[in-house]
Chain A
Amino acid sequence: MSLIIKDTVILGIGNILLQDDGVGVHVIKQLENENLPSTIELVDGGTSTLDTLGLFLDYKKVIVVDCLRAGLEPGTIYKIKPEDIKSYQKENLSIHDVQILDVVNMANMMNKYPEVVIFGIEPEKIALDLEMTSTMVSKIPEIIYNIKKELEIN
């Protein structure tokens, strides 16, 4: 058992078989090569979003990295918090596939309220391929820069 208390988790989500969809997992692989503070855990969540519930129960802060298609320029990085989106849930709003928000809601039902920040990256191409597009690959340093900024890591 480790004596180090980890209070923050960075969770990468996506399917590495589907090109840019896997960006979250690729970011985690890259971060595994970096010297991060010992309080930070890295998790490759793959495609099992609903299995990540435990992370939202155990950690004070959860950074989610996922592919997010909103129609802006490929490679655009979005930073959203679940509470930002809640304020939009008034009219004809539907959110398909945002299972991660379901998981946040489930954690809340279990009386856990971690701080959640989602970094979503606009894909260029989602097709059967293990390699991401060069647009996406070139964005990884910037995604990591923004994650570190969020976590106040120099």
Chain B
Amino acid sequence: MSTIVLDPITRLEGHLKVSVTLDANNNVTAAQATGNLYRDFENMLVGRPPSDAAFLTQRICGVCPVSHAIASSKATEQAKGFTPPLQALLLRNLIQGANFIASNVLHFYQLALLDYIQGPQMNPWAPGYTQDFRLSATDSQALMNNYITALSIRRQAHEMGAIFGGKLPHVGNVVPGGVTASPTSTHITNFRNYLNTITTFVQNTYRTDVNKLAAAYSDYYQIGKGYGNLISYGVFDTNTTGTKLFPAGTVTGGIVGGFTSTNIKEYVGHSWYTSPSGVNPASETTTPSYGKSGAYTWLKAPRYNGTPYEAGSIARTWISGDYKVGVSVMDRHMARCIETGKIATNMQTWLNQVVVGKSGYTNIGTPTSGTGIGLTEAPRGALGHWVSVASSKISRYQIVTPTCWNASPMDDAGNVGPIEKALIGTHVADTTQPVELLRIVHSFDPCTGCSVHVMSPEGIEMSNFVVQPL
């Protein structure tokens, strides 16, 4: 028996430690995923006006700021009893769609691809693993060229989102009441120009490259399967009556079923918290207790009907019927690519529906009391904000992020989390280069950032760079 610890796993957003135990044949028999950052931004919101939450919660994370702003706005709108009109929903779709495209393209080319091909021999890409690279030198070079093109596409997607989102990365325009933007015909023309270029890349280059990878690594349709249970809260409203491009739902044992938010409960038996376990986020509390016996992570364990579920593109495309082949490392990449194409296509439709000169914002004031749930999807999966308001101030706030679902620890009933489950049973060919494990973890597009960005250069004599005090 031996163990492998990957800490931190690089090329993902934030810090995640994964420890696995191997048997004598180098097969994984146990796995633990550890989120190393205490994340309790919610308590900071208590006592503030509800509208502050849309601005502050998107600062939690640099990767999904748009989805946090939308989830938070929806929660406050529900507390106020307000449903945004179509113009607001369309503008949100266009901003969030731009973020999904940017995030999915980044994930494939910048975060996942280098598990399969040799990167440039320069920092931060070298030194890297050299294990199990199967593509020809020509194909690898072509992918590296597209890696650079993808940087430009991602940037254009980002600029496209800023047309209606306002200043990015942290959007100022997505607020309770809608989107504070009045589209001009120039905005729409500029948006369409970006979208055309991006759509061509997504439907040709990205699709071709994922297929190329899948052909060379077809065994990865059998690796990292996990439970196969999937959950999505639904995203991209296409009308004011709740129809969504990707509907909310669950997949249990391959069967698509409904979704009810009250079936969500969070367990903390193996997390560093002493607050009550098995509580719905609407009434949950958060009391940290680092080092608690039997615990190994700051992440809680959200469960649906007491069962672990996986969130992400694969959940969305399975429930919508756009891609429902399997659940595995390669299926996750396929689903992400296919949904990106579908989003880009539908953004053309939404752009055509936007009314020139019409504001997407309604002043709804502040809810004086009540509760609201804001459910949406971030690129990496189901995202929920639960707010309670009393005397026009936030009295309780809970956020359950997609990576809480995927990188969650063992729950109180002894069920491991989805990433942990996906690792168990995997054969590691070379324990000094456990590339199989990295490919599994990266396929979930985990983000535990939330987001300490402090620079920490190690091995550099920083006293050489001190600016002399005045």
Residues of chain A having any CB pair with chain B under 8 Å: 13-18, 21, 44-54, 57, 66-72, 76-80, 84-86, 88-89, 91-102, 105-106, 109-110, 119-120, 123, 126, 128-130, 142, 145-146
In the complex, are the beta carbons of B151 and A53 less than 8 A apart? yes
- Nearest-neighbour CB distance to chain A for B99, whole angstroms, equals 10
**Which of these, A85, A120, A128, contacts B41 with CB under 8 Å?**
A128
Residues of chain B having any CB pair with chain A under 8 Å: 8, 40-41, 43-44, 56, 59-63, 65, 102, 106, 110, 120, 122-124, 148, 151-152, 154-155, 158-159, 167-170, 449, 451-460, 462-463, 465-467, 469-470
Residues of A with C-beta under 8 A to B455: 66-69, 95, 97-98, 100, 120
In the complex, are the beta carbons of A93 and B454 less than 8 A apart? no
Mind listing 10 A-B residue pairs with CB under 8 Å?
A15-B59, A15-B451, A17-B56, A46-B59, A46-B169, A67-B455, A70-B457, A77-B466, A92-B459, A95-B123
Residues of B with C-beta under 8 A to A72: 462-463, 466
User: What 8 additional pairs, Cβ within 8 angstroms, besides A79-B465, A142-B470?
Assistant: A46-B62, A48-B168, A48-B170, A68-B455, A95-B455, A102-B124, A126-B454, A130-B44
Residue of A nearest to B461 (CB): A88
- Nearest-neighbour CB distance to chain A for B315, whole angstroms, equals 25
Q: Which 6 residue pairs of A and B lie closest in terms of their CB atoms, listed nearest first?
A: A48-B169, A47-B62, A48-B62, A70-B462, A93-B459, A47-B451
Q: DSSP class of B's interface residues: helix, strand, loop or mixed?
A: loop
- The CA of A63 and the CA of B469, in the complex, are separated in Å by 19
- The CA of A142 and the CA of B470, in the complex, are separated in Å by 7
- The CA of A74 and the CA of B459, in the complex, are separated in Å by 19
Given contacts A15-B59, A77-B467, contact A89 B123 (CB under 8 A): yes
Residues of A with C-beta under 8 A to B44: 17, 128-130
Residues of B with C-beta under 8 A to A48: 62-63, 65, 168-170
In the complex, are the beta carbons of A54 and B155 less than 8 A apart? yes
In the complex, are the beta carbons of B120 and A101 less than 8 A apart? no
- The CA of A96 and the CA of B459, in the complex, are separated in Å by 11
- Nearest-neighbour CB distance to chain A for B430, whole angstroms, equals 22
In the complex, are the beta carbons of A47 and B459 less than 8 A apart? no
In the complex, are the beta carbons of B151 and A106 less than 8 A apart? yes
- Nearest-neighbour CB distance to chain A for B228, whole angstroms, equals 31
- The CA of A130 and the CA of B47, in the complex, are separated in Å by 13
In the complex, are the beta carbons of A105 and B123 less than 8 A apart? yes
In the complex, are the beta carbons of A13 and B453 less than 8 A apart? yes
**Which of these, A46, A88, A145, contacts B460 with CB under 8 Å?**
A88
- The CA of A88 and the CA of B159, in the complex, are separated in Å by 35
Residues of A with C-beta under 8 A to B40: 128
- Nearest-neighbour CB distance to chain A for B216, whole angstroms, equals 24
Residues of A with C-beta under 8 A to B169: 45-48, 51-52
In the complex, are the beta carbons of A68 and B457 less than 8 A apart? yes
Residue of B nearest to A128 (CB): B44
- Nearest-neighbour CB distance to chain B for A80, whole angstroms, equals 5
Residue of A nearest to B63 (CB): A48
Residues of B with C-beta under 8 A to A110: 148, 151-152
- The CA of A110 and the CA of B153, in the complex, are separated in Å by 12
- Nearest-neighbour CB distance to chain B for A45, whole angstroms, equals 7
Residue of B nearest to A71 (CB): B462
Given contacts A128-B40, A142-B470, contact A47 B151 (CB under 8 A): no
- The CA of A110 and the CA of B155, in the complex, are separated in Å by 12
In the complex, are the beta carbons of B168 and A97 less than 8 A apart? no
- Nearest-neighbour CB distance to chain B for A79, whole angstroms, equals 5
Given contacts A51-B169, A57-B155, A66-B453, contact A91 B459 (CB under 8 A): yes
- The CA of A46 and the CA of B170, in the complex, are separated in Å by 7
- The CA of A44 and the CA of B43, in the complex, are separated in Å by 25
- Nearest-neighbour CB distance to chain A for B68, whole angstroms, equals 11
- The CA of A21 and the CA of B154, in the complex, are separated in Å by 26
- Nearest-neighbour CB distance to chain B for A149, whole angstroms, equals 9
Residues of B with C-beta under 8 A to A79: 465, 467
In the complex, are the beta carbons of B452 and A15 less than 8 A apart? yes
Given contacts A44-B167, A51-B169, A89-B123, contact A94 B158 (CB under 8 A): no
- The CA of A86 and the CA of B170, in the complex, are separated in Å by 31
Residue of A nearest to B123 (CB): A89
In the complex, are the beta carbons of A44 and B170 less than 8 A apart? yes
In the complex, are the beta carbons of B457 and A85 less than 8 A apart? yes
**Which of these, A21, A106, A142, contacts B453 with CB under 8 Å?**
A21
Residue of B nearest to A143 (CB): B467
Residues of B with C-beta under 8 A to A71: 462
- The CA of A130 and the CA of B43, in the complex, are separated in Å by 12
- Nearest-neighbour CB distance to chain A for B14, whole angstroms, equals 10
